[in-house]
């Protein structure tokens, strides 16, 4: 019984890792392209994406 519980834990960790990596890649692919401007207390900041 102990062996099968360990196997379920390993499979669960791998599934969570795959889902997390997929979500990260999906988020990175859908970022808007262009420039990002922000105005703060340090002045104006312009970054190119």
38 sits in which H/E element = strand 35-40
First to last CA, the chain: 51
Between CA 15 and CA 1 the distance in angstroms is: 21
**Full residue range of the structural domain in which residue 9 is found:** 2-48
Instruction: Give tens-digit pLDDT for 22-44.
Output: 999 999 888 777 888 889 888 99
* Tokens at 35, concatenated: 């420039």
pTM, full prediction? 0.59
Q: Which helix (H) or strand (E) holds 24?
A: helix 2-29
Domains identified in the chain, total number = 1
- The whole-number pLDDT of residue 1 equals 57
Q: What is the mean pLDDT of residues 9-21?
A: 96
């Amino acid at each position: 019984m102990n062996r099968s519980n360990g196997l379920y834990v390993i499979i669960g960790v791998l599934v969570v890792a795959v889902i997390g990596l997929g979500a990260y890649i999906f988020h990175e692919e859908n970022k808007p392209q262009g420039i990002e401007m922000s105005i703060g207390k340090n002045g104006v900041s312009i970054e190119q994406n």
